[in-house]
Structure 1
Amino acid sequence: MPLVPTGELITRAAAARAAVAAFNVITLEHIEAVVAGAETAGSPVVLQVSENAVKFRYGRLLPLARAAVTAAERAAVPVGLHLDHVRSDDLLRQAPDAGFGSVMYDAARLSYADNLAATRAAADWAHAQGLWIEAELGEIGGKDGRPPLDAHAPGARTDPDRARDFVAGTGVDALAVAIGSAHAMTSRTAVLDHALLTRLSAVSSVPLVLHGSSGVPDEQLVAAVGEGIAKVNVGTALNVAMTGAIREFLAARPEAVDSRAYLGVGREAMAREVGRIIGVLSRADGG
């Protein structure tokens, strides 16, 4: 089926008090695994390409984007394509022609005033191109090798009053909130601030997004969706599944040299994890 705009998937989920899983992809195997896992689960899904993934691919967006578009067009479930954690305005402007229906513009490292101004400009441009745009307020730590922020550090949590004003001032379509998760967690030990999420949901006029979901235990994910999270970003969990499966395969077969064998095992492990996470999220809406 054709690509489905990410905004359409998220808006529909938010109206049903449900959430769409959005998986960050780095290789063709990631893309195939996400689509296969979503098809097995019979659920819509979002393929996400981050600015860091583009840097890993020699700074070229199109090879991975075209692979994702092709996979989405042949999928048996609705698939959206999202450009994630964009800081570069040059990369932002490549999104429409590369097939992306949405972007996450990341100016959260800036002061509140600068974040608002930069995001307002990005949102104006994105909307003129027909793109749905997500932004971040508060700092969801752990990205680019940085440690997660202490729970009481300035900026470590999204302030509800500022969130309401930020959405109104920027015109964004969704907001990623800092409520206790962190990027790149390999253990599922994050503790979400559910009381804060409830307050954020009460004042927000747009769907809320949870980044760093790989480190969040299942029951807390289910609760977060019930409290207003409509898009759940996952990346590290796929890498953990893939790497673990490949390590086990090669440890048992030290003579193996055909990359198709171990990449296939890694792809299958990621597909299972995709299906597992989608299954967890479906519990929030009784699915």
Structure 2
Amino acid sequence: MLVNTRQMLNMAKKNKYAIAQPNAWDSHSLRAIIRASQESRCPVILGLAEVHFGYLSPEEVAHMVSFYAGKTDVPVALHLDHGASYNAIVRAIRAGFTSVMIDASQLAFEENIKVTAEIVKMAHAVDVTVEAELGHVGVGLEYEKIDAVAKDLFTKPGQAREFVTRTGVDSLAVAIGTAHGEYKGEPRLDLERLVEIASAVEVPLVLHGGSGTGDERLESAIRCGISKVNIFTDLTKAAAAETRLVPPSVSYPDEGMLGEEAVIECLQHYFRVFGCVNRAADTSYEQKFTMCTDFAAGGSA
């Protein structure tokens, strides 16, 4: 069933496990995410990043997810990841996304609050949940070179409290030492900072850059307050590694199916790490419409 993220993340926060947000990049990865969640009975947040609109459009994804989610009783939320532009967020909501991320983390604190609050007001009017980011999660961090300047980009607990209060966001992505993409060196998470942030805010906390962080570090982060973990790079690497082993005699459609199975295996490993296996029935969910009618008709946002 298609839902927003509110109930699943609040339940994860309450019971100290995390929901996975794997991002799709093609029809095989999208179907793999749904299949993996069905087989493991895991609520899942299927993501599409704005920068990947060239791989799949939000309209394509919304139709596919509506079809697959409608055939299962496992809760599925459809989420726009790293929405950096107002137009992309409106486009996703009109397409039928049930959750969006506004990433204004590169802006100054007050401007981030202003932009985020505007998105929250618009999205909440049609029962779409909103994630925002405070602090900045980098790309491919070189951990041996992290200094005081880099750590200044980490989320500050006091600012987190003010940010959540003034914006009304449903979840908050925090910067505590993870990175997008592949790591250079061993990741070091600031768990003490995470505990302080979790104590300062009531909304579920999100960890971006889950790939390559390591199972034990992820488990520790979940114990310290993380309720949602984003996964992308490890899924693409699993699919690529599997398809590279395919002999020339294997057809292209069959090659795609092998990649799909690799994504399922990788994702189900993370489900076990996050503690979300068999959590689909934790609470009753409200089924969302397959299309947000307030926006689908082209009404003003």
- Structure 1 length normalisation: TM-score? 0.90
Which piece of structure 1 moves more, 126-135 or 149-158?
149-158
Q: Answer whether contact 2:43 2:276 (CA < 8 A) is retained.
A: no
Q: Indicate whether 1:113 and 2:106 are aligned.
A: no
Distance 2:117 2:155 in 1: 18
Q: Which residue does 1:14 correspond to in 2? A: 13
Say which SS state the counterpart of residue 56 (structure 1) adopts.
Answer: coil
Distance 2:199 2:88 in 1: 33
Distance 1:285 1:207, change over 3 A: farther
Distance 1:36 1:187, change over 3 A: farther
Q: Indicate whether 1:102 and 2:99 are aligned.
A: yes
Task: Report the number of matched residues.
Answer: 277
Q: Which residue does 1:35 correspond to in 2? A: 34
CA shift, 1:91, in A, is 1.4
Cα deviations by residue, 1:92-148 (Å, 9 ceiling, x for unpaired): 112333221111100001111211111111111111121110000010011xx8978
CA shift, 1:255, in A, is 4.2
Q: Percent identity?
A: 34
Q: Which residue does 2:291 correspond to in 1? A: none
Q: Return the letter of the residue paired with 2:18.
A: A
Q: Indicate whether 1:4 and 2:9 are aligned.
A: no
Q: 1:270 is matched with which residue: 252, 263, 275?
A: 263
Q: Which residue does 2:237 correspond to in 1? A: 240
Q: Indicate whether 1:163 and 2:160 are aligned.
A: yes
Instruction: Indicate the RMSD between aligned Cα atoms, in angstroms.
Output: 2.3
Which piece of structure 1 moves more, 187-196 or 103-112?
187-196
Q: Which residue does 1:254 correspond to in 2? A: 248
Give the number of the structure with larger relative contact order, counting CA–CA contacts within 8 Å between residues 6 or more apart.
Answer: 2
CA shift, 1:187, in A, is 7.4
Distance 2:221 2:278 in 1: 12
Distance 1:146 1:54, change over 3 A: farther
Q: 1:282 is matched with which residue: 275, 280, 285?
A: 275
Q: Answer whether contact 2:181 2:209 (CA < 8 A) is retained.
A: yes
Say which SS state the counterpart of residue 177 (structure 2) adopts.
Answer: coil
Distance 1:182 1:254 in 2: 36
Distance 1:151 1:262, change over 3 A: farther
